[in-house]
Structure 1
Amino acid sequence: MAHETWVFRSWLPFEIADIVAVWHEYRIPIILSTFTILMIFRTVLHLRSSRGKISHTPPISPSLTAQKGNLLGDKKANGEKVPRRIVGGLKKRKSSEDAVQIGSQKIQLLVFFSSLTGTTEKTAKVFREGLAKSTQNLGDATTTFLEPQLLDLSYIDYDDYFITAPKTEEETRFFYLLLLPTYNIDTVLDNFLEHLQETHNDFRVDTAPLSTLLGYSVFGFGDRGGWPTEEEGFCSQARGVDKWLAKLTGKKRAFPLGMGDSKTNAAERLQEWKEGVLDVLGHIARTGGLGEGVVGSGDAVESDVEDLDEDDEVLSDEQNVAQRKTKLQKKDGLNDLEDIGSTLNKSSVDLSEPLEVDFTTYSKKSQPTAPATIKEMVPKNSPTYNALTKQGYSIVGSHSGVKICRWTKSALRGRGSCYKYSFYGIASHQCMETTPSLSCSNKCVFCWRHGTNPVGTTWRWVVDPPDMIFAGVKAGHYQKIKMMRGVPGVRAERFAEAMRIRHCALSLVGEPIFYPHINEFTAMLHAEHISSFLVCNAQHPDQLATLKPVTQLYVSIDASNKESLRKIDRPLHRDFWERFNRCLDILRERRFEQRTVFRLTLVKGFNIEDEAEGYAALIEKGLPCFVEVKGVTYCGTSSSAGAGLTMQNVPFYEEVCSFVEALNTALAKRGLKYGIAAEHAHSCCILIASERFKKDGKWRTRIDYERFFECLESEETFKPEDYMGPETPEWATWGNGGFDPRDERVFRKGKNKVALTESQGEVMGDVA
C-alpha cells in the first residue's frame, strides 16, 4: 500500500502534492474554522436585515393597489365567493414580559357532579383520580396544575361557584368540568339549571360573570333506551347546563359537550372526552389561553344561537324562512346575512302560505304560546318508580305513596311497637305510614330513602285529587297487611285490629305539606276518625300558615345554626334559613291551637357537639309542646356514604341521653318549663315535654283520640290540653326503657328472646 502511494505522488506536480499533504494533516481544523466564519457572517446579515425592516416599511405599490381593487371589483361583479385566507397559528409566550403577566399561575380543576343512585359519583371519583395523574406532566416552568377537586352539586352553594369564580389568595385560575346524568324526574339539576338561567337574566349580575374562568366543559350521561335522540331528551340536562355556562362564561367552552349512553358506550365516550380536555389543558399550559376559534364555522343560523335571548328574540320573515330551511334540509350553509335573500329562490320551502307576524309587540313574551305540558312527578316508566317500588313502596297515582312500617310488622308479631305508642298511645299495627307528596325540598344526609325520590322547590306536576289518593293509600296499606297473614308469629287478634286503620303518619318520604290539597286529605282522615301526625321540614311557611289543625304537628329541627342546617339537610331553597325561622314563628303562634313537636335527629359529628345551647334558643323561639330527640338511623347506602354519613355518625343511646340532659339543663337556665317525660330506648328516642302536660306530678303525654275528634267536630275553638289523654305509663317514663310490657323483646344477631321479668309481668297485668 505504501508503494502505491509513492507511485501516485510521483507523477503529480510538487505543489499539488504538498497541498494534499497539508489537507490530510490539517483538514479538521480547516473545516471547523470555515463553519465558524460562515455562521458569524450569516448572523451579521440577519441582524442587518431585521433592523432594516423595523426602520423602514416600503409603501404599497399603487399598481398593486389598483390591481387588488380591480380584482375585488371583478369578484363582486361576478358574484363569486372569495375563499378567506386564514393567517395565524399558536401564539407563543414571550420569554420575559409575558412570563411576568401570565407566568407563575396555578390552575385548579374543579370537577362537579350530580348523582342520585351513586353511579355518577363513583364515575366522577375515578375520573378525578385519572385526571390528577394525567395533569402532573402538563405543567411547565410557568404553569402548575393543582390537585383536582371533586364537588357534589347537592352540597355546594351555587353562589360560591356559579355567580363569580372562586377567589383565592394565590394566583390561581379555575377550570370547570361537569359530569351530569339526565333524569326524567325533578332533581337537583333542575334547580341548578334554574339558578344558571336566573343568574343570566339577573340585571344585577354581569352579563358574563364567569368570564374569569380559564374554560369549562360538560359531559352528560343519558339512556338512549328512554330517549333515543337529543331532540327527544337524550342528555337534555347536560345540554342545558352547557348552553347556560356558555353565556355566563363569555363563550369559554374549552371542549365540546360530551355525551354517552350509560348502558352501552359511556366509558368509551368519557375517555375520548377526557383526552380532548387534556389536550386543551396542555394548550393552556403552553399558550396561557384557549386560543381563537375560526370565525364562520358551522351554520350561520345555528352557530350563534347562544348569543340570542330566547325570550327577547324577534325573527323577521326572512329569518323564519331561513330557520325552516335549516331544519328541513341542512345542506347549503348560509355564510352571511346578506346571502339570505339570494338563497330564498333556491329554497325548497313552500312560501305560498303567508307568514304569521305580530307587528304589535316586540317580544315573544307577549306572544300567545302553547300551554306547557305538565308532567307526572313519578311516572310509572321512570327509574324513580322502579327504585321506590323495589324498596317496598306502593305508588298511588303520580305523586303519592304508602309503605308498611317495620314497627307495624313488629307489633303484629308481638315484638314491640315504636316510640309513638310509649309517648302518645299509638298502636303501631293500626298505623298507616303514607305521604301525598313524594317530592321534597331537602336532601338530608340521613335520609334512608336512598336519594331516589324527586326534589323541587315548587309544585309543578300533575295534581291528583285527594279522594283518589285517600282511597289508594288505604287499599295499598290493607294489601300489605294481608301479605303478613302467613308470616310466622303474627298474632290473630292484632291482625284483626290491623284491618282497621286508626292512625296515619304523614312522614313516609317527601314533604306532605307540599301537596296543594293537604287540608282536604287530612279532613278525609278525620272524617273516618283516623288521627293525623304530620311531619314537615320547616321549609314551606306559606303552606304551614294555611294548614288546618291536625292531631299532632311535627317540624324537623335538624340543626341549631345556619351552616349546620346547610350541611345536614342540604336544602334547595336559597333562603332556607329565613324560611326555617318563619316556620318557628308560626309554631309559636299556634302552640295553643294544636299539639306541636320539634323533631331533633342527632347525627354524631354534625349536630351534637356543643349545640345544646343553640337548640335551647330555637325551642325558646318556637315554644313547642314536645321535643323528640332521636339518634339517626344509618341505612348503609352508598348515597349516605357519599354524603359523609357512616356508622361512626350514629350516636350510642348513652350519648343521646347525655345530650338530652344537657338540653334540659339549658332550657332550665332560660326559665323554660320543660322536663324529660318519656323514653323508648329501643328506638334511641327520648321525649322532652312542656309542663303544660304534667298534672299532679304525673306526665300526661298520651292523647285522648276520641276527645280530639269530638273537639274537631264541634267546630269550636279548643286547645291541646282539651284532648290530653291519661297519664304516661310508668314503664314508658324516663329511666324505665319504654318497652311495651305486653310484648317480648327480640335481639338480632342470633341472640335468644328475652323473657318477661316478674316486674314486667306485673305491669302487664295492670295494663290489661
Structure 2
Amino acid sequence: MSIKLDAISTIFERLRKAGYHIVGSHSAVKKCHWTHVALTQRRFCYKCKFYGIASHRCLQMTPAVIWCWLRCLHCWRAEPGDLEVQWDDTKLPVVDDPEFIVEKSIEEQRKIISGYKGHPKVDPKMWEEAMNPKHAAISLSGEPTLYPRLSELIEEYHKRGMTTFLVTHGVRPDVLAQLDPEPTQLYLSLEAWDEKSFKEFNRPILPGLWKAVIQSLELLPSFSSPTVIRITLVKGFNDHEKALEGLAKLVQKGYPTYVEVKAYMNVGYSRYRLTKENMPKHYEVRAFAEKLAEKIGYEVVDEQVSSRVVLLSRIDKPIRVGEGCPGGNAGGELPEGSEAEMANQ
C-alpha cells in the first residue's frame, strides 16, 4: 500500500506543477483556459455558444483525477507508462465524502479566480460572478463513474444551484443506470467504431469494456436530461469511411439529443503518444460532421472554429441549460493554433 501511496503522492505533485488543484484523496480542479479568456477578453467557449454555459462561471473538475479503465492514446491524463511511477488506476484508494469534494472544489476555484481581482482587463462584476460558479464540468481527467458516490456528488452541486455536465467513456453502464439525480447533460465520448479499434486506440485494461460501452449507448435514450455523443476526430485513425460508417451505427444506437464532432488536440500527456499531425483542421471536422449528419438524419446546427467543433442535433434548437454569457463574443474566434483553441476538450 505504501508503494502505491508514494506513487500517487509523486503524480499529485507533478499535477500541481501543471496547474491542478488537488482536492482530498482523488479529486481535482483546474482552470480552463476559456475561463481566463472569458474574464480578460470576453470571449466564451463553445459550451456558451451551444448551451448557454457561462465560461467564467464554469468549474472544471474530476472526482477521479488519475483513475481510469482506459489508456486512450489521445488522453491528456498522465497514465502509468508515461511517467516513472506506477499506481493501480482501476479503483480509488479511498472514497471522499461528496459534500466535502463539492465544497473544496468551489473553494479551490475561488482561489484560482481570486488572482483576477483588480486585473485591468477584468470587469469587476464578471469577477464577482466568477467567484460564485454556476456550472460544474465533471470532465477534467480520469473516469468519473469510478467514484462510487457520483449521484450524491451531482446532487450536491445541484443543491447549490449549479448545473452539471458529466463526461464518461461509458465503461460503467451499471453506474449510469443508477444515476439519481441525472446530470444536467450527459456526455458519452467515442473515438472507436468497433471492438478492434477500441482495443487499439482506447487500450482497455480490463476485459469486456467494449460490451460495457455498447450497454451505455443503449442506456442513453432512457435519460430525461439531454445526452451527447462526443466524437473526437483523430486524423489518421478515425477520419475514414469505415470509421464513419461504424460511428454512425453507434450514434443511431444511442440516439442522443446531440452529437459533437471535435478535433483531437495535441496537449498534455497525449503528446507522448500522438503528434500534431493527428489534429484535423476545422474544415476537416466540418466535412466529417456533415457526412455523419447525412447518415444519421441529424442537422448541423452550430459550430465553433476556434475549438474545431461542430454540433449536430435531432431537435430544432439546442436547449439552453445555462444563463448565457454577459455581452462579449459567445464563441469568439481565436487564431488557429492559439492555446485557447486547445482548451476545453
User: With structure 2 as the length reference, what TM-score do the two structures score?
Assistant: 0.88
Displacement over 6 Å in runs of 4+: 452-455
Q: Is the counterpart of residue 418 in structure 1 residue 45 in structure 2?
A: yes
> C-alpha separation between the residues in 1 aligned to 2:171 and 2:89?
9
Match of 2:236 in 1: 605
Give 1:746 shift: 5.1
Judge conservation of contact 2:263–2:309 (CA < 8 Å) in 1: yes
Q: Is the counterpart of residue 568 in structure 1 residue 195 in structure 2?
A: no
Give 1:704 shift: 6.0
Judge conservation of contact 1:405–1:433 (CA < 8 Å) in 2: yes
Letter matched to residue 401 of structure 1: A
Give the unaligned 5+ runs of structure 1: 1-182, 186-374, 669-673, 706-724, 730-738, 751-768
Letter matched to residue 622 of structure 1: G
> C-alpha separation between the residues in 2 aligned to 1:679 and 1:582?
29
Give 1:499 shift: 1.2
> C-alpha separation between the residues in 2 aligned to 1:450 and 1:484?
29
Match of 2:259 in 1: 627
Query: Which residue of 49, 56, 75 corresponds with 1:447?
Result: 75
Give 1:563 shift: 1.7
Deviations 1:79-112 (A, max 9, x none): xxxxxxxxxxxxxxxxxxxxxxxxxxxxxxxxxx
Q: Is the counterpart of residue 703 in structure 1 residue 321 in structure 2?
A: yes
Match of 2:23 in 1: 396
Match of 2:217 in 1: 584
Give 1:747 shift: 3.7
Judge conservation of contact 1:415–1:746 (CA < 8 Å) in 2: no
> C-alpha separation between the residues in 2 aligned to 1:579 and 1:749?
36
> C-alpha separation between the residues in 2 aligned to 1:447 and 1:571?
13
Query: Which residue of 251, 269, 275 corresponds with 1:646?
Result: 275
Give 1:390 shift: 0.8
Judge conservation of contact 2:265–2:279 (CA < 8 Å) in 1: yes
Deviations 1:278-329 (A, max 9, x none): xxxxxxxxxxxxxxxxxxxxxxxxxxxxxxxxxxxxxxxxxxxxxxxxxxxx
Letter matched to residue 444 of structure 1: C
Residues 686/455 of structure 1: CA separation in 2 closer, same or farther (3 Å cut):
farther
Deviations 1:460-508 (A, max 9, x none): 5111111211111111010000122354522222112111111000001
Give 1:661 shift: 0.9
Give 1:740 shift: 5.8
Match of 1:514 in 2: 146
Q: Which has the higher contact order (CA 8 A, sep 6+)?
A: 2
> C-alpha separation between the residues in 2 aligned to 1:700 and 1:631?
21
Match of 1:21 in 2: none
Residues 579/741 of structure 1: CA separation in 2 closer, same or farther (3 Å cut):
same
Judge conservation of contact 1:377–1:398 (CA < 8 Å) in 2: no
Match of 2:343 in 1: none
Judge conservation of contact 2:25–2:96 (CA < 8 Å) in 1: yes
> C-alpha separation between the residues in 2 aligned to 1:603 and 1:497?
36
Judge conservation of contact 1:443–1:571 (CA < 8 Å) in 2: yes
Aligned residues: 330
Aligned ranges for residues 181-330 of structure 1 at < 5 Å? 184-185=3-4
Judge conservation of contact 1:423–1:702 (CA < 8 Å) in 2: yes
Give the unaligned 5+ runs of structure 2: 339-345
Give 1:667 shift: 1.4
Give 1:640 shift: 3.3
Matched position secondary structure for 2:262: strand
Deviations 1:13-58 (A, max 9, x none): xxxxxxxxxxxxxxxxxxxxxxxxxxxxxxxxxxxxxxxxxxxxxx
Aligned ranges for residues 147-162 of structure 1 at < 5 Å? none
Aligned ranges for residues 27-42 of structure 1 at < 5 Å? none
Aligned ranges for residues 348-497 of structure 1 at < 5 Å? 378=8, 382-438=9-65, 439-451=67-79, 458-459=90-91, 461-485=93-117, 487-497=119-129
Residues 376/426 of structure 1: CA separation in 2 closer, same or farther (3 Å cut):
farther
Query: Which residue of 290, 298, 308 corresponds with 1:684?
Result: 308
Hey, which of these two has a bigger chunk of strand by percent?
Answer: 2
Residues 389/580 of structure 1: CA separation in 2 closer, same or farther (3 Å cut):
same
Give 1:376 shift: 9.1
Aligned ranges for residues 114-193 of structure 1 at < 5 Å? 184-185=3-4
Aligned ranges for residues 613-762 of structure 1 at < 5 Å? 613-635=245-267, 639-643=269-273, 645-668=274-297, 674-691=298-315, 694=316, 699-703=317-321, 741=329, 745=333, 747=335
Report which of the two structures shows the higher radius of gyration computed on alpha carbons.
1
> C-alpha separation between the residues in 1 aligned to 2:331 and 2:168?
31
Q: Is the counterpart of residue 594 in structure 1 residue 225 in structure 2?
A: yes
